Structure 1
Amino acid sequence: MSTLNKDSLLPLNPMHLPELPSWFPIAWGWWASAGATLLSILAIWLIYRWNKKRLAPKKTALRLIQAGEKPAEAFELLRQAALCYYPREEVAKLTGKEWYAFLDTQVKAPLFLDNYDVWQVALYSKEPLGNASELVSHCSQWVNEALPPKRRRTKVG
């Protein structure tokens, strides 16, 4: 039997392992993913802000129309809301039946031209009307349906 002699072993240094790979610098794929994520967040934020700004006149008009009780005030707010969304050159010059026809072309069911005489009494009479709440609801219905314009409808005037 052979016995190992302590002197016969070679003196070896302990094993040195390489360092663990670090996270930095990050590979280009991670940079691309981070950039795409940031661009997506920025795009979503910009669209949200644009949409909020675009719908602000509509929301304000609806809030004020529903808070009021007089058809004349609701009708004036409706005109102001329409001027926010439609070209001023086309809408500002409309009066009388042309204005009512424009309003009716922007919604599915006509609300104003069929009630022309009722609206004239409501706008120019000092006495309160019994159907004032119905006329105010017509204004808020128009603002809900017609604003913002989905597409260009028939040109009036």
Structure 2
Amino acid sequence: MQSSILSTHFVSSFLSSYTKSAAQSMPPANQMPVPPQQQDPLAQLRDIHVPTEVNIWPLDWGWWVAIAVVLLALFCLYKAITAHLRHNKARKQALALLESISAQQSNWPVALNSILKRTAMSYYPTQQVAGLYGKQWQAFLTSALKNSDSKLESDLGLLVSNVYQATPNPSDFETCKGAVKNWLSKAKLPKNKGAKGGVNDGGLNDGSHHDKQAKEPHHA
């Protein structure tokens, strides 16, 4: 009887101990088990690296060649523009001076012819032009034209004939002035004044010497 009581007591103690152990190992009823944390797949990617800035200095030899070519081209362009402006300087001065001549001037044929003479002397050797007058002068003006122009040649002849008239015909003024303007625009003027000194303004703005020659009929 006593052994039966001891067996019952042992079983009860074992069950009580097991129940307590199980109760301690179980989570609370209101707390759900947390699943193991999943690893973020993006964390395995490497960061984006900005490429190192390229240093352009020192320049490669190809850049130096390109720079040299550009500078040479700019220099040639500058020389061409300045040469063109210098070549047309006397022509432009003559066209500006032409606008100051009017039919009210008693010596307008001489004034118009003087512009032609002084402009020609700016581009041609002085000894070739200064002594020309009359038909020789008219022939020179005609030969300087780029293309043959019968009307312009006739108008230049009218101007030359008026130079030697004591009283020029006022009705011829516009024709003669137009002839001078057309010759200045259409004449093929050389870029080098012979072999001496190059092109100059021929004294278009200085007065005296060339004006005296132009006012003398035998030098017109």
Q: TM-score, normalised by structure 2?
A: 0.53
Q: Say which of 109, 114, 127 aligns to 2:149.
A: 109
Deviation, 1:26, is: 0.7
Q: Does 1:144 align with 2:185?
A: yes
Distance, in Å, in 2 between the alignment partners of 1:29 and 1:104 is 54
Aligned-partner residue type, residue 118 of structure 2: Q
C-alpha contact (below 8 Å) 2:155/2:179 kept by paired residues: no
Distance, in Å, in 1 between the alignment partners of 2:156 and 2:119 is 21
C-alpha contact (below 8 Å) 1:55/1:148 kept by paired residues: no
Distance, in Å, in 2 between the alignment partners of 1:123 and 1:64 is 22
In structure 2, the CA distance between the partners of 1:20 and 1:141, relative to structure 1 (3 Å rule), is closer
Where in structure 1 are there 5+ consecutive unaligned residues?
1-17, 151-157
Distance, in Å, in 2 between the alignment partners of 1:114 and 1:63 is 20
Q: Which residue of 1 aligns with 2:217?
A: none
Of the structure 1 ranges 122-131 and 80-89, higher mean CA displacement relative to structure 2 is found in 122-131
Q: Say which of 47, 59, 77 aligns to 1:44.
A: 77
How many residues are treated as equivalent by the alignment?
Answer: 133
Q: Does 1:133 align with 2:162?
A: no
Deviation, 1:20, is: 4.9
How high is the sequence identity, in percent, across the aligned residues? 25
Q: Say which of 131, 148, 160 aligns to 1:119.
A: 160
Q: Does 1:82 align with 2:120?
A: yes
Aligned-partner residue type, residue 62 of structure 2: G
Q: Which residue of 1 aligns with 2:64?
A: 31
CA RMSD of aligned residues (A): 2.6
Deviation, 1:22, is: 2.0
3-state DSSP class of the match of 1:25? coil
In structure 2, the CA distance between the partners of 1:25 and 1:126, relative to structure 1 (3 Å rule), is same
Distance, in Å, in 2 between the alignment partners of 1:38 and 1:124 is 58
Where in structure 2 are there 5+ consecutive unaligned residues?
1-50, 103-107, 192-220
- After superposition, what is the alpha-carbon deviation per residue over 1:6-47, rounded to whole angstroms, capped at 9, x for unaligned? xxxxxxxxxxxx965421111000011111111111110111
C-alpha contact (below 8 Å) 1:58/1:81 kept by paired residues: yes
Distance, in Å, in 2 between the alignment partners of 1:86 and 1:122 is 22
